[in-house]
Amino acid sequence: MAVENFSFREQDGDLTELNVTYVGLTTSTGLPPPIVRLIPTAGEGVYGPPLVIEAEYVTDVSETEFMAGQLAQNNGLGRQALFSTTIKMPAVINGTTMPRDPRTPFFNAPKVAFGGGVYIKYSGYCVLSMSCDRRGLFLIARNTYHEVQQIAVSTQGAFS
């Protein structure tokens, strides 16, 4: 990976814009590390602190692959009865280890003969929002993650 060129713009004595063009970037040769921000956000914590995690990074996947949630070997895409699909935060982005889930993800179903009770699914950090901008052959990706816990209540015999 090498820097081909760079430019910057100053305004009122501060740096307002910095553009760097890299050459030789691919997933196999190495991409720059992500910028990871921990943003305090009221009401977001389940088992961990009340925050969202934002990652901004360069990737060489297509917009379609990125928006489909297949980025970074996502294997957390799954659906269980009563619950919406979640996309897990990857453990590593461009070689940088992301924060760990505050608690191991789990699924609890009540031990009732006819399926009634409270169902709880805790998924850990999952995608809250996704966006990307095309820059030449690469995407500048921005993902925001938050803790996801879903609770469903069923009455006895509702699923028979």
Residue by residue, DSSP assigns 12-78 as TTEEEEEEEEEES-BTTTB-PPPEEEEEE-TT--SSS-SEEEEEEEEE-S-HHHHHTT-TTS----B
Q: Is 40 a residue whose pLDDT tops 60?
A: yes
pLDDT digit string (tens) for 54-68?
999 998 888 888 877
Q: What is the pLDDT of residue 67?
A: 76
Q: Is the pLDDT of residue 127 over 60?
A: yes
CB 132 within 8 A of CB 139: yes
Q: What is the pLDDT of residues 62-87, one digit of tens each?
A: 888 887 765 444 445 555 556 677 88
Asked if 52 and 124 sit in the same domain, the reply is: yes
15 shares its domain with 70: no
pLDDT at position 35 is: 92
Q: Are residues 86 and 9 in the same domain?
A: no
Shared-domain flag, residues 98 and 24: no
Number of domains, the chain: 2
Q: Does residue 160 lie within any of the structural domains?
A: no
Instruction: Spell out the residues 6+ positions from residue 115 whose beta carbon is closer than 8 angstroms to its own.
Output: 154, 156, 157, 158, 159, 160
Residue 8's pLDDT is: 72
* Per-residue pLDDT at 59: 87
User: Is residue 159 a part of any domain in this protein?
Assistant: no
Are 64 and 12 members of one domain? no
8-28 pLDDT, tens digit per residue, is 777 776 766 777 776 666 666
